[in-house]
Amino acid sequence: MNMYLKADEHVLRCLLTLSQSRNVTECMVTTLGRFVCTAYQPKGIQIDNIPELRWYLSCKHLTENDKLPPTLGALKQHVPRAHIQARVWGQADTA
């Protein structure tokens, strides 16, 4: 929740767009990837893409696999699922 509260305007707009847009764009995946990076990166480190962050965490911090951020491929599969869920939940209050 703290990461969501600290997120910049682009991330918040992208999360809102998930429930309103018809398609998931590459820009949305990139923005959400940056959001995932902010959730996993150590303090004082600024890495904005998932492959570099996974490499940094596994090499420099010897982070275990279950504590690494999802791969870029996994994120690209998860975002459309989240998009469908957001569209359904966004229409929950419609009669």
Cβ proximity of 34 and 18 under 8 Å: no
Q: Is 19 contained in some domain? A: no
**Is residue 56 assigned to a domain?**
yes
Number of structural domains in the chain: 1
Placement of tokens 């010897």 in the chain? 62
Full-model pTM: 0.81
Q: What is the dihedral sign for C-alpha 85, 86, 89, 93? A: negative
pLDDT for 7? 87
Does residue 35 carry a pLDDT above 90?
Answer: yes
The pLDDT, as a whole number, for residue 61 is 81
| Res 37: pLDDT | 92
Mean pLDDT of 38-49: 89
Angle at 86 between CA 50 and CA 78, to 5 degrees: 30
Domain containing 58: what range? Answer: 47-78
